[in-house]
Amino acid sequence: MTVHTDYYELLGVQRGADERTIKMAYRKLAMECHPDRHGGCAEQEAKFKQLNEAYDCLKDPQKRAAYDRFGHAAFQQGGAGGFGGGAGPDFSDIFSSIFGEFMDPRGARQNAARGADLRYDLELSLEESFAGKSATIDIETLAPCEPCEGDGARGSSVPITCPTCHGAGKVRAQQGFFVVERGCPSCHGHGVTIADPCPECQGEGRTLKRRTLTIQVPAGVDEGTRIRVAGEGEAGIRGAPSGDLYLFVHLKRHALYGREGTTLIAECPVSFTTAALGGSITVPGIDGEKIEVKIPSGVQSGETLRLRGKGMGVLNGRGRGDMVARILVETPTRLTARQKEILTQFRETETGEECPASKSFFSRIKDVLG
């Protein structure tokens, strides 16, 4: 099972973006998160590597075409991590699906029989995203037919080689100077025919069933993260390879935190006396730990306090992001007579030096009015 974040989302561009837009987005983000600017921060280094991987793919027209068609699966066939690495992707399969069966004489039969990929939208809480989860899902899909064991033939009968295409799954026709290949009309590209088809699946070798799967969701997944589960899509026709299952992660709205990458943001209202005199508040961390946020005296509404290492974990990496407390100074709306008296006495002692921003503002007003 492999987890990836969409390349376009990483660079913050639309799928139809031109080369110039992609290049500008990459340069801006690469400059912002370059490890040298963050003291060797492991999180920024991991993000920097992801940005380079995304840009390396999208700047190349052929790689981008394959990615748009297949996603990360285009670079993972045979266990390779990308173009030019390891055993490498099967280019014939990729180009066959993009440009048609003329590019790959083997592709027509394989593509005609392979099962379709499936999509499943998985909703998680922020806590589940932080800790990871073993998710159990129910899907209704085409699965191998049990009576015929997936070959489509009844009882002891077996599929026979198609007499029209002789098992190739395609036929050729002369059109002027060109020879055109197309799927065999007799076997529909399968290369075999069945004289006595299975009554349960009508010779397809698969039937509609509800399946229950348990998927291990890794810690640190974010909104839009895609998880590929190989071979768990629709069953192929008559024993052909199954498609893949793709899980798209969606995060539920959290009562306290918003999320930006690995950073958690909490809006923390405090009384104006706490803002003036200083103090502390306690908030629950995403890991269940109680976090004390110390409020410095004189803090202003909108200021942020950063607590290192209290945010989300890094997907497929080590370390955690930060938690940011955004302070919102609340003006009291219900005062007792005694409280009003105390505040009136305080106002009578004000000199203007207590609030330098207000003093500067009214000074500028006087200058404008002459």
Asked if residue 57 belongs to a known ligand binding site, the reply is: no
Packing angle of the helix pair 42-58, 61-70 (nearest 10 deg): 100
DSSP-assigned letter for residue 75:
G
Give burial (CB, 10 Å; 0-12/13-18/19+) of 200: middle
- Has 162 been labeled as part of a binding site? yes
For the chain, what is the largest distance between any 2 Cα atoms, rounded to a whole number of angstroms? 104
**CA 31 to the chain's CA centroid:** 23
Please say whether the beta carbons of 350 and 334 come within 8 A.
Answer: no
Instruction: Kindly report the backbone phi and psi dihedral angles of residue 326, in degrees, each rounded to the nearest multiple of 5, phi listed first.
Output: -95, 115
Q: Are 194 and 202 in contact (CB under 8 A)?
A: no
- As given in the structure block, the two tokens for residue 92 are 């014939």
For residue 324, the surrounding DSSP H or E stretch is strand 323-330
To the question of whether residue 184 is assigned a binding role by annotation, the answer is yes
Reference 237, options 136, 328, 144; nearest CA is 144
201 labelled ligand-binding: yes
Query: What is the SS3 assignment for 351?
Result: coil
The one-letter amino acid at 188: H
Chain centroid to Cα 83, Å, comes to 21
Q: Is 41 part of any known ligand binding site?
A: no
- 355 labelled ligand-binding: no
Whether residue 33 is annotated as binding a ligand: the answer is no
Query: Hey, what are 98's tokens?
Result: 């993009």
User: Which residues, in sequence order, are bridge partners of residue 259?
Assistant: 264
By the 10 Å C-beta count (0-12 exposed, 13-18 middle, 19+ buried), 265 is classed as middle
Q: E strands along 218-244, which residues?
A: 226-229
Rounded CA gap, 308 and 273, in Å? 26
Binding-site annotation, residues for Zn(2+) = 145, 148, 162, 165, 184, 187, 198, 201
Binding-site annotation, residues = 145, 148, 162, 165, 184, 187, 198, 201
